[in-house]
Amino acid sequence: MDITKMLSGVRIDPKASAPIYLQIANSLAAKIKECTLPVGTKLLPERELASLLEVSRTTIINAYRLLEERGLVSTRIGSGTYVANLNVTDQQANDMPWEQLFSPHYKSPLSSLLRSLVATPTADETISFAAGMPDPALYDLKIIEKALVDGNHGLDAADFGYIPIEGYPPFRRSLATWQNSQGIHAAPDNILIVSGSQQGLYLIVKAFVEPRDYVIVESPTYLGAIQVLEAAGARVLCLPQSSSLDLGALEDYLIRYRPKLFYTIPTFQNPTGQVMPLHHRQELIRLAARYRLAIVEDDPYSQLYYGQQPPPSLKSLDTYGGVIYLGTFSKILFPGLRTGWVTAAPQVINRLAQEKQYVDLHSNNLSQIILHTCLADHYLADHLSFVRREYKKRRDTLAGAIRQYCSTHLDFELPEGGFYLWCNVRPPASPVELLRRSAAAGVTFVPGEAFYLNNTESHHIRLCFATLGEDRLNEGIRRLAKIFKSGTANATFPSGTAGRPLI
């Protein structure tokens, strides 16, 4: 070690504001960086350097420690302090302590379940009654070409640039017209286009719910809604499970908890398929108006009716301006459009738009242009008649297969629309045991407990009939029947609870 190289130019100014150890460390750091002290150089022992510079040994220890912290030197115990190989130091640093840096976050026991439900069903031989999605074989992808290529609606290149947060203006207008045809009085100002109704829900929760706020939901209900609410720190109140809306229980909650929102799927509910009757809708609106309760009406399925048209939406009955309506094209056209909308009072739309700006500036132009064409050309009505016929057949096929093969183990009420059969599994068979066995036999579905808060036990399973053709529906139920027959779907520990009444 050439001592002069180490010492020359090391300046100590006792009057400077920087502590002396820092002055020494900075001088040495400069020498290391300019390679006056190259990689591998052994620095003078602390005691020697201290005496040469006429400072205390602690000062040198601190200086060396700082250099080490900066990765410029490394200490080998019993040997000394050496100029470090910067690259080696970097390699050692190869992992970031990410888990320490992340903000704490809500982890739903269900989130991996939702993730796997959202994933496209695998192409293998498994028959999935699980995913709540339309059948890809029924997507009419011609509308893409019609809207984006034929461009018969006077598209301008600027339509593919930045557009208003609230949505593509022609689409907001055609959607308002369509909403009016459904009995919902809406001007374009009442509409916010969102990137799927999931985003609509997310924005609503962000705009209304602070940690510890109360929100009311039906029970069972859509698990994605529960998750967004819980992730926001909401305290979720479940209405008691019942075959009809329990307005008494609702009012009790309103008085005791002053909830921020009531989240409901009044038409072809997920998972039960139930429809809230007209007189209940009217009473709900009266009650909500009295308490100034904001209602979030999630309505993905009302266009998918297979008999009578369902009663008018809550939004169309809204006398007090408090219903926030959530619509989506994912179930009636195809999910990849990722487009839904919110219809609500302009103050609400404005506030949601402020939140949306941060989340994604505005929703996808291509999808909005396609949907505008669908609405403006009245294409949607034709497509809806087609899919209604098709899904009705599938519902009837699934119901028939269950009656034929599984009538001693499964019962259900035939839903008038939507995607799901909500089946009661008669004891001693258990939904979870059934799923375990059936997954191995190539059939999946969602066990009822996924739709309840707090691991409520459920004797139900949800079967989606929309995604599968008639052969697959029949085959799936035959596979379930085999498992029932074998007795292997029985609960390992009989729960002792009687099956709940049908809902």
Q: Residue 292 CB, nearest distance to a second copy (Å)? A: 6
By the 10 Å C-beta count (0-12 exposed, 13-18 middle, 19+ buried), 120 is classed as: exposed
Candidate residues 71, 277, 400, 427; the one interacting with a second copy per rule CB under 8 A: 71
Among residues 301, 324, 304, 328, which one has the least CA distance to residue 314? 324
Q: Parallel, antiparallel, or unpaired for β 73-76 and 80-83?
A: antiparallel
Residue 297 makes contact with a second copy by CB under 8 A: no
Tokens of 403: 């009656």
Q: Decide: is 163 part of the binding site for a second copy (CB under 8 A).
A: yes
Q: Taking the mean position of all CA atoms in its chain, how far away is CA 84? A: 47
Q: How far is CA 377 from CA 114, 146, 387, in A?
A: 35, 10, 18
205 vs 461 by CB, closer to a second copy? 205
- Sole window of 162-170, 183-191, 392-400, 449-457 interacting with a second copy (rule: CB under 8 A): 162-170
Candidates 14, 104, 487, 501; binder of a second copy (CB under 8 A) is: 104
Interface residue with a second copy among 47, 185, 286, 485 (CB under 8 A) is 286
- Answer for which of 1, 16, 30, 141 binds a second copy (CB under 8 A) is 141
- Give the CA distances from residue 94 to residues 33, 90, 316, 402, in Å, rounded to whole numbers and listed in that order: 22, 7, 58, 57
228 binds a second copy (CB under 8 A): yes
Cβ 30 to a second copy shortest distance, Å? 13
Helix (H) or strand (E) holding 68: helix 57-69
How wide is the angle at C-alpha 254 spanned by C-alphas 250 and 259, nearest 5°? 110
Q: Does 101 bind a second copy (CB under 8 A)?
A: yes
Residue 103 beta carbon to a second copy: minimum distance, rounded to whole angstroms: 5
CA–CA distance, 282 with 85 (Å, rounded to integer): 76
39 vs 141, which CB is nearer to a second copy? 141
Q: Binding string, 205-224, against a second copy, x = CB under 8 A? A: -xxxxx--x-----------
Which residues in the 7-36 window bind a second copy by CB under 8 A? none
The answer to whether residue 164 forms part of the interface with a second copy (CB under 8 A) is yes
Site string for a second copy, 37-56 (x = CB under 8 A): --------------------
Examine residue 347 and tell whether it contacts a second copy (CB under 8 A).
yes
Minimum CB distance to a second copy smaller for 358 or for 493: 358
Of residues 230 through 269, those in contact with a second copy by CB under 8 A are 231, 260
Least CB distance from residue 325 to a second copy, whole Å?
A: 14
The correct pick among 289, 381, 439, 441 for binding a second copy (CB under 8 A) is: 289
Exposed/middle/buried for residue 454 (C-beta within 10 Å: 0-12, 13-18, 19+)? exposed
Distance between CA atoms of residues 403 and 481, nearest Å: 11
Q: What is the footprint of a second copy within residues 376-435 (CB under 8 A)? A: none
Q: Which is nearer to a second copy, 8 or 357 (CB)?
A: 357
Phi, psi dihedrals of residue 33, rounded to the nearest 5°? -65, -35
Choose, by CB under 8 A, the member of 40, 137, 154, 378 that binds a second copy. Answer: 137
Distance (Å, whole) CA 245 – CA 274 = 10
Give CA 325 to chain center in angstroms: 18
Contact call for residue 133 and a second copy (CB under 8 A): yes
Q: Which of residues 301-320 bind a second copy (CB under 8 A)?
A: 319-320
Q: How many CB atoms lie within 10 A of CB 153?
A: 15
In the complex with a second copy, the residue whose CB is nearer, 286 or 485, is 286
Q: Is 109 in the site for a second copy (CB under 8 A)?
A: no
Beta strands 323-328 and 294-298, pairing class: parallel
Contact between 330 and 367 under an 8 Å Cβ cutoff? The reply is no
Instruction: Report residue 6 CA to chain centroid gap.
Output: 60
Asked if 2 touches a second copy (CB under 8 A), the answer is no
Is 443 a binding residue for a second copy by CB under 8 A? The answer is: no
Among 70, 185, 256, 485, binds a second copy (CB under 8 A): 70
Instruction: Out of 1, 152, 160, 403, point to the residue binding a second copy (CB under 8 A).
Output: 160
Q: Is 99 near a second copy (CB under 8 A)? A: yes
Among the listed residues 14, 97, 496, 501, the single contact to a second copy using CB under 8 A: 97
Residues with Cβ < 8 Å from 408, sequence gap 6 or more?
426, 484
Q: Measured from the CB atom, is 20 or 317 closer to a second copy?
A: 317
Helices (H), 85-147: 86-92, 98-101, 111-118, 142-145
Q: What angle do CA 422, 424, 430 make, to 5 degrees?
A: 120
Q: Which of 11, 76, 115, 212 is the binder for a second copy (CB under 8 A)? A: 115
Q: How far is the CB of 457 from a second copy (least distance, A)?
A: 26
